[in-house]
Structure 1
Amino acid sequence: MNTQDNISRKDFLKNTTLAMAGLSVSKGFSTENLPSENIIPSIKDKLSFKNVRLETGFDYEEGEVIATKTALFLVEIENGKITNIAPNQPNAKAIDAKGHLMLPSFRDMHIHLDKTFYGDKWQAIRKRTNGVKGMIALEQKILPELLKTSTYKAEKLIELLQSKGTGFARSHVNIEPTSKLQSLKNLQKALENKKNSFSTELVAFPQHGVFYTDSVPYLKDAAQMDIDFIGGVDPFTIDGAIEKTIDFTVQLAIDNNKGIDIHLHESGESGLKTVEYLIEKVNENPVLKGKTFVSHCFVLGKLEKTKQEEIAEKLGASQMGIASTIPIGSLIMPIPTLYKYNVKVVTGNDSIIDHWNTYGTGSVLQKANLMAQLYGYNTEFSLSRSLKIATGDILPLDDKGNQQWPKIGDKANLAFLDASCSAEAVARVSPVTSLLHDGKIVF
């Protein structure tokens, strides 16, 4: 006898739907009160959650925030948006969130989805020679083989990010004479396959230099495709010409209505000159304000305090952002100073288990935790504020403890965590139990 015949219709529907929705009781949700006849339509079209923990305010003692207030709610979602936030109804026919904390889903704002070993056998990086140019030579050698499976590996890497609560990424994608546009095309296939569960913006990234290898024609082609930013890397070290490379990048971005996101690892005089020249060009072309970023920008960590303040103030005035992976070791990035001057700071995992980097967990919540540790953000208040680097500056409570997220009408891009509040989630890198993307359960 088929074992399926021994399962009740209610249980069969429930199990089928859980598989479709990505839910399981082991992840923390209970579905015992879901209606049996309508279970699949309710999962697909409308979701209701009970016992959802939301932050409601701060507890104070002698003017200091000592705890975060929370309460349980009923949250309803339809057509990708939050449609109702009501007092909790423990007996409602709804998915039981079991008191897990609901937060905005996370955003990985600097990653390379197009080239990774993830999804294949384990291998650590090999000893480097000749700096970045040596790595370019290595890429020219290994990219043809990597491209054979890059679509599959990108999908597996996206699934890793989703398991860590991330529903959006800004991915740099190689554009150079070796892979030409193939790396972009392969990644676009993966993104098409994941379009209902994950969102991205893409950076056309001349990893092998704009002029060091002739990437110009490929960048021009990519700029007319479905990408969002024109990238770059160490214009002095790689191309030997700061102004020539920046001028080309700026003009290509303006001509194609794109943003700019440039990798800058140079920490000496050339790094400072590159930042200052890019600030100058953005001020000359205000259309680039709010959509220009410098990734890494290690030179900021090498400047004297007064110069750090000066550059941070100029970055803030130009509405330029910094994408930092929050490096550890001797180089400490001045993120508190950047915040002081209202510079937008975002973070990401960068390379995850590839030929550049052996490490990478896929968690930007871990990056928030690292930032908090590096800068001594160890109080309830400062830990809760640290969450913003993982969520794209969205926080459940404002600095005065007023609830500002979620609101009815907000997009249902959210994560459930086994945590009591934001501060605990950051401090303990609390486990993600589910992820919703545009109102759909995707993990």
Structure 2
Amino acid sequence: MEPRSISRKGFLKSSSVLLAAGTGILQAPAAIGAQQSQSVKADRSYTLKNVRLETGFGYDEDGEVVHTKTELFNIEIHDGNIKAILPNKADANAIDAKGLLMLPAFRDMHIHLDKTFYGLPWKAKLAKNRTVKDMIAYEQQIIPELLKTSVPRTEKLIELMQSYGTNYARSHVNIDPTSGLNSLKNLQKALENKKESFQAELVAFPQHGIYYTKSEDLMKEAAKMDIDFIGGLDPTSIDGAIEKHMDFVVQLALDNNKGIDIHLHESGDPGMKTIHYLIDKVIENPVLKGKTFISHSFALAQLDKVKIEETAEKLANAKVGIASTIPFGSTIMPIPVLYKHGVDVVAGNDCIIDWWSTFGTGSILQKANLAAQLYGYRTEFDLSRILKLATHNVLPLDDKGNRSWPKAGDQADVVLIDASCSAEAVSRISPVKSLIHRGKIVF
């Protein structure tokens, strides 16, 4: 986006043209014919040829991975799933993938689809909005007007993410007295409109605090709607008490059979007390294991080596995950230590050009690249492993170089990318040429 004056109508038109241009990369060959082409669309049965898949690692004399082996294949897709993986037949009557690398479709696991300036004229973050409470006050001013166009703008944001290979997201959505349940309802409308090409799980997020703006009843209503997680926000600085805030979140999740994903920006002692309090609650309520996450968790970045090892082990034992935007600067998250102990780490763009942040591209592959730079993942092997940040732990090859994805029967959620292997894709943030969602070519 260039910082120039442009009307909203013009911006949306330009976005549509750019996105439409990308959808023609994979097209059914002319030989299929009109009648057969219609059949392909109807039951999503077709074959891709010249698809590049990773098949193993190449090693030097010291046993170091120095190369990723690939071969071309034919991929049969039927009814949204991968039906078969066959030796390549370049002359097959099939859709030509032209040697592009097939990778698992990307997942953005922390984003706010309901909040963005995308689709409106350029606007950077205001300097005066420094604290979370400042931002709450600002949101209370601007949300009523933004809600009027949130459905089409959310759809455009989804299309942006699809152009970067993302077909799945965990989206936090405001539940607050200013918007009531309208942010959630509008987001659900946008997702319904995009249900054939995109999937999302939703977090009911008390952005303005649970008690700070009296959002308890709204959260209870939202919990009975089509959402997946109960959110929370900085219990000490916003609501003034860890126990009261977190007990509400945990009980609401238990009562409604939901997961938990809280925003925790608080550092130091307040942040760590909240982390340990939630770990203890999950241990008390094992049904929450594997479905509880702490987003941001900046307090972890300030721990010494011994404390972070201890905390990572506790998180792993309680199966409490960490959702990170891979921040850089003075806050470097200890992602490698979390991985070492088996903590489920997920990544997301968080804000995409909104009033919280001027930045955000929509590319989750870029987050994997950033992690590689931050943590020194420079080798072929390490670069291939950190791709899991973009795919939520789905990798083409296991650590020993055996092909683990794709397999016949897997859901056909894939990207075709202009790279020789996943290591190169991460290193160069290689361009996504096509996205297939449940067998449907959507970009």
Q: Give me the TM-score of the superposition, normalised by structure 1.
A: 0.94
Amino acid at match of 2:330: S
Gaps of 5+ in 1: 1-18
Task: Please report how far the alpha carbon of residue 31 of structure 1 lies from its aligned counterpart in structure 2 after TM superposition.
Answer: 2.6
Match of 2:82 in 1: 82
Match of 2:173 in 1: 173
Give the 3 Å change call, closer, same or farther, for CA 130–157 of structure 1 in structure 2.
closer
Q: Matches of 1:374 and 1:326 in 2, distance apart? A: 9
Contact between 1:110 and 1:350, CA under 8 Å: does it hold in 2?
yes
Q: Matches of 2:89 and 2:130 in 1, distance apart? A: 63
Match of 1:51 in 2: 50
Task: Please report how far the alpha carbon of residue 323 of structure 1 lies from its aligned counterpart in structure 2 after TM superposition.
Answer: 0.2
SS in 2 for 1:203: strand
Q: How does 1:11-410 map to 2 (within 5 A)?
A: 23-24=23-24, 27=25, 31-45=29-43, 46-61=45-60, 62-129=62-129, 131-410=131-410
Q: Matches of 1:81 and 1:172 in 2, distance apart? A: 29
Give the 3 Å change call, closer, same or farther, for CA 429–171 of structure 1 in structure 2.
same
CA deviations 1:285-316 (Å, max 9, x no partner) are: 00100000000000000111111111100000
Give the 3 Å change call, closer, same or farther, for CA 73–240 of structure 1 in structure 2.
same
CA deviations 1:206-231 (Å, max 9, x no partner) are: 00000001000000000000000000
Identity in percent: 66
Match of 2:438 in 1: 438
Amino acid at match of 1:55: E
Amino acid at match of 1:255: D
Q: Matches of 1:319 and 1:283 in 2, distance apart? A: 9
CA deviations 1:399-438 (Å, max 9, x no partner) are: 0000010000000001000010000000000000000111
SS in 1 for 2:236: helix
Task: Please report how far the alpha carbon of residue 30 of structure 1 lies from its aligned counterpart in structure 2 after TM superposition.
Answer: 7.4
Amino acid at match of 1:265: H
Which has the higher mean CA deviation after the structures are superposed, 27-36 or 320-329? 27-36
Amino acid at match of 2:374: L
Q: Matches of 2:396 and 2:32 in 1, distance apart? A: 28
Amino acid at match of 2:396: P
Amino acid at match of 2:201: E
Contact between 2:28 and 2:37, CA under 8 Å: does it hold in 1?
no
Task: Please report how far the alpha carbon of residue 158 of structure 1 lies from its aligned counterpart in structure 2 after TM superposition.
Answer: 0.3
Q: Matches of 1:391 and 1:239 in 2, distance apart? A: 35
SS in 2 for 1:238: coil
Contact between 1:230 and 1:249, CA under 8 Å: does it hold in 2?
yes
Contact between 2:57 and 2:66, CA under 8 Å: does it hold in 1?
yes
Task: Please report how far the alpha carbon of residue 34 of structure 1 lies from its aligned counterpart in structure 2 after TM superposition.
Answer: 3.3
Amino acid at match of 2:32: L
Task: Please report how far the alpha carbon of residue 130 of structure 1 lies from its aligned counterpart in structure 2 after TM superposition.
Answer: 5.3
Q: Matches of 1:344 and 1:270 in 2, distance apart? A: 23
SS in 1 for 2:55: strand
Task: Please report how far the alpha carbon of residue 23 of structure 1 lies from its aligned counterpart in structure 2 after TM superposition.
Answer: 3.9
CA deviations 1:168-213 (Å, max 9, x no partner) are: 0000000011101000000000000001100000000000000001
Q: Matches of 2:26 and 2:368 in 1, distance apart? A: 24
Q: Matches of 2:20 and 2:123 in 1, distance apart? A: 33
Contact between 2:22 and 2:433, CA under 8 Å: does it hold in 1?
no
Q: Matches of 2:118 and 2:74 in 1, distance apart? A: 38
Amino acid at match of 2:367: K
Q: Matches of 1:29 and 1:427 in 2, distance apart? A: 28
Amino acid at match of 1:59: G
SS in 2 for 1:187: helix
CA deviations 1:258-292 (Å, max 9, x no partner) are: 00000000111100100010101111100100000
Amino acid at match of 2:125: I
Q: Matches of 1:178 and 1:115 in 2, distance apart? A: 14
CA deviations 1:296-342 (Å, max 9, x no partner) are: 00000011111111110000000000000000101110000000110
Runs of 4+ in 1 over 6 A off after TM superposition: 19-22
Amino acid at match of 1:31: P
SS in 1 for 2:86: strand
Equivalenced residue count is 423
Q: Matches of 1:21 and 1:198 in 2, distance apart? A: 19
Amino acid at match of 2:304: E
Contact between 1:81 and 1:412, CA under 8 Å: does it hold in 2?
yes
SS in 2 for 1:56: strand
Q: Matches of 1:429 and 1:207 in 2, distance apart? A: 32
Match of 1:6 in 2: none
Amino acid at match of 1:354: D
Q: Matches of 1:155 and 1:30 in 2, distance apart? A: 26
Give the 3 Å change call, closer, same or farther, for CA 23–113 of structure 1 in structure 2.
closer
Q: Give me the TM-score of the superposition, normalised by structure 2.
A: 0.94
Contact between 1:128 and 1:135, CA under 8 Å: does it hold in 2?
no
SS in 1 for 2:231: strand
SS in 2 for 1:307: helix
Task: Please report how far the alpha carbon of residue 28 of structure 1 lies from its aligned counterpart in structure 2 after TM superposition.
Answer: 6.5
SS in 2 for 1:236: coil
Q: Matches of 2:51 and 2:151 in 1, distance apart? A: 36
Q: Matches of 1:241 and 1:414 in 2, distance apart? A: 44
